[in-house]
Amino acid sequence: MNDGKGHLSCKSHTARNEKDIYRICPSKISKRELEDLYFALLEQNVQLKTTINDQKDQIKILNTRLQRMTAQKPGTGAYNKDFSGAGRGIINEQKECIADLKKDNERLSERVRLLNMRLCSAKQFLRRSPSQSASRCVRCIIPDTSAKPVQDQPCQRNKCRVEMDELKGKIASLENEMSSLQSSWSSRADELQSLLSSARAEHATCPNRLAALTTDLGGTRTLADELTSQLQLERARVGELEAQLRAARIDYNVALVAEGLVRRLLYIQIVLGYLTNF
C-alpha cells in the first residue's frame, strides 16, 4: 500500500511543471517527495551544465572557423566575387547561430539560477533528516556513482554565473569579430566592384582603340612601302653616280697619261731641234 502511494506521488511529482514545483512549500511535503524533488532538480542541473559545456564546444568551433576565415586571403576576379557571396552567407549563418546560442544561454542562465535556489532550499531541509529512504523511485535517482553527498555539494550559483558571463563575453567578442570581418569583406567587395567597373569601361574602349591602331598600322605600312620605293630609287641613283665616278676617274687618269706623253714629246722635239741646230 505504501509502495503504491510512493509510486503515485512520484508520478504526480513528474507531472508537475517547473512553476508548480517551485511554488511547493518544503514544509508541506513528505520526506520522500522532498528527496524526489531534490534528485529531479539535481538531474536538471547536471543536464543544464552538460548543455552549457556543449555550447562552449560550439563556441570554440565557431572561433576556429572565424580564425580560418580570417586567415584566408581573398583572391581576385570571379572567384573572389563567389567567395565574398559565400562568405557573407556563412557570416549570416554564424551570426544567427550565435544569436540563438545567446538566447539559449540567457534562458539556461535563468534556469540554472532558479535550480540553484531550489537546490539550496532542498539541501537545507534534507540536512534536518540526512537519512534517505530505501523505497525511493528509481526514475528520480541519478545513475552517477561519482556524485558527492548532499552535505558535500557546494552551491554552484556563483560558478554558473561566472561561466555564463564568460560565455556572454565570448559571444560579444565573436560578434565584434564578425562585424569587423563583415566590414572588411564589404570594403574588399566594394574595391573589387570598382576594379571590375574600371575594367569593363576599359574593355568598352578597346574596340575604338583597336580600330584607331588598325588605321595607324595601315598608314604606317603605306608609308613604309613609299619609303622602300624611294630607297630603291636612291640606291639606283647612287649606283649610277658611282659608275660615273669610276668613268671620270678613268678619264682623269687617261688625261694625266696623255698630258705626260705630250710633255715628253715636246721635250723630245726641243732636244731634236737643239741637236739639229748644233
* pLDDT tens sequence across 170-212: 777 777 877 787 787 878 888 888 888 888 888 888 888 888 8
- Examine residue 192 and state whether it is found in any structural domain, yes or no: yes
Read off the pTM: 0.27
In terms of Cα–Cα distance, which of 148, 125, 129, 130 is closest to 42?
148
User: Is the confidence at residue 39, as pLDDT, over 70?
Assistant: yes
Please report, for residues 40, 96, 108, 169, the alpha-carbon distance to residue 165 in angstroms, rounded to integers and kept in the order given. 26, 20, 12, 6
User: Is the confidence at residue 127, as pLDDT, over 60?
Assistant: no
Taking the chain, what is the end-to-end CA distance rounded to the nearest angstrom?
A: 196
- Examine residue 174 and state whether it is found in any structural domain, yes or no: yes
Res 114: pLDDT? 75
- Examine residue 246 and state whether it is found in any structural domain, yes or no: yes
- Examine residue 65 and state whether it is found in any structural domain, yes or no: yes
Mean predicted lDDT score pLDDT of the chain: 71
- Examine residue 247 and state whether it is found in any structural domain, yes or no: yes
- Examine residue 75 and state whether it is found in any structural domain, yes or no: no
Domain region containing 250: 31-69+90-123+158-276
Of 91 and 32, more confident = 32
CA distance linking residue 111 with residue 81, whole number of Å: 45
Res 159: pLDDT? 67
- Examine residue 137 and state whether it is found in any structural domain, yes or no: no
Which of 80-84, 115-119, 266-270 has the weakest average pLDDT? Answer: 80-84
pLDDT band at 226 (very low <50, low <70, confident <90, very high): very high
Total domains present in the chain: 1
- Examine residue 84 and state whether it is found in any structural domain, yes or no: no
Res 168: pLDDT? 73
